[in-house]
């Protein structure tokens, strides 16, 4: 049995045992429905070959060649990824437009005896919904910014606030980036822009929009990921909770927050080189010397004093700032402090909601 599915509400998607994306690996890597697994009926090379035949030779030949690839690939999936699925397995299948690829997979799986759903309009149905909510909508979002200079442990504070039942949107976690030239992860690449937006959309639609959403203050880009328009507008006008801490405390904290950098001298030197447009040769040479000597605390302090703190102040002066909701001066940046202040933040948000 094949069932046409016309909406992508969370409740609808949750009815299925698996969401199967039958598009090529390259299409899947760019974006996909949350939780989807990739069981392509045409791989990247096969898809390109069939497309070329379709354009340069004939539609009939393209369908014949494509059908042979699809049959072999679905057979392989039945023998591997789907081999242990029970009789009552109930998957949702989608391709680019809800056309031949998804229906081909669904037809074969239905013959096995599985009840299959096919998403009408395919991936494009999903993408239209994401675009409508994040790019086209002007509806306000109840955002509260968690602000503060570099090294004030905003990400740790976000997670502590979540443990106090605060709704949080951790954009750096979604972007796989810590928001600075030192912020990327060598072994954890950033998502493509469309998949970044998919994850933001999925989190937002899981929130109660009558309650505040705590978001770390960011520039409009986190690494290569751009914050979508609707969220960015909300962030620019949002009330702020500000964290402060002494420079020495922040420098010590950064050593624990960036272990990949302090453990990889070449990564630190490469990040320093990316600051060439902003600082003199003498300053850059001083920072390189600190990195070469593994004086990470001295490097962190120098970078904050001469680069990040001034940049933060410039950003505050030229940007739109919402009302100051609360400010917390942190003399320690440890788990006990995070939990204590997170309780105060939760209380401040509750008061703001009233």
Q: What is the DSSP string of 169-200?
A: E-HHHHHTB-SSTT-B-TTSPPPPHHHHHHHH
* Helical pair 59-79 and 100-112, crossing angle rounded to 10 deg: 40
- Catalytic positions, please? 95
CA atoms within 13 A on the CB side of 245: 26
Cα separation, 318 vs 149, whole angstroms: 16
| Burial degree of 58 (CB within 10 A; 0-12, 13-18, 19+) | exposed
Q: CA distances (Å), 134 to each of 59, 105, 198, 233, in order?
A: 38, 31, 9, 10
The tokens of 15 are what? 């009815």
CA angle 84, 30, 258 (to 5 degrees): 95
Scanning the structure block, which residue is given the tokens 């902003």? 278
Residue 313 sits at φ, ψ, to 5 deg, of -65, -40
Alpha-helical segments (H) within the chain: 10-13, 25-30, 44-56, 59-79, 100-112, 122-131, 154-162, 171-175, 193-204, 229-236, 247-257, 259-262, 265-273, 281-292, 296-303, 309-318, 335-353
């Amino acid at each position: 049995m094949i069932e046409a599915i016309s909406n992508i509400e969370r409740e609808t998607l949750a009815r299925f045992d698996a969401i199967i994306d039958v598009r090529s690996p390259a299409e899947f890597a760019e974006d996909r429905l949350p939780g989807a697994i990739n069981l392509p009926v045409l791989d990247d090379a096969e898809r390109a070959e069939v497309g070329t035949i379709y354009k340069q030779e004939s539609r009939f030949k393209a369908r014949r060649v494509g059908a042979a690839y699809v049959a072999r690939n679905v057979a392989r999936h039945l023998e591997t990824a789907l081999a242990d699925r029970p009789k009552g397995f109930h998957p949702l299948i989608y391709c680019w437009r809800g056309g031949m690829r998804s229906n081909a997979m669904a037809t074969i799986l239905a013959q096995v005896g599985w009840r299959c759903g096919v998403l009408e309009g395919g991936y494009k149905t999903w993408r239209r919904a994401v675009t409508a909510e994040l790019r086209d909508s002007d509806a306000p979002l109840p955002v509260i910014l968690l602000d503060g200079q570099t090294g004030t442990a905003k990400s740790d504070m976000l997670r502590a606030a979540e443990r106090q039942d605060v709704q949080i949107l951790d954009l750096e976690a979604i972007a796989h980036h810590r928001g600075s030239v030192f912020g990327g992860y060598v072994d954890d690449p950033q998502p493509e822009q469309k998949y970044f937006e998919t994850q933001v959309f999925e989190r937002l639609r899981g929130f109660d929009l009558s309650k505040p959403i705590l978001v770390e203050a960011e520039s409009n880009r986190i690494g290569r990921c751009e914050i979508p328009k609707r969220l960015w507008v909300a962030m620019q006008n949002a009330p702020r909770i500000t964290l402060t801490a002494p420079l020495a405390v922040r420098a010590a904290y950064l050593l624990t927050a960036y272990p990949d950098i302090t453990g990889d001298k070449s990564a630190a030197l490469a990040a320093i080189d990316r600051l060439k447009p902003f600082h003199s040769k003498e300053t850059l040479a001083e920072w390189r010397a600190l990195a070469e000597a593994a004086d990470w605390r001295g490097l962190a302090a120098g970078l904050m004093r001469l680069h990040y703190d001034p940049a933060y102040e410039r950003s505050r002066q030229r940007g739109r700032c919402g009302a100051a909701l609360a400010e917390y001066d942190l003399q320690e940046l440890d788990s006990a402090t995070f939990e204590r202040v997170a309780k105060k933040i939760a209380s401040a948000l509750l008061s703001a909601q009233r």
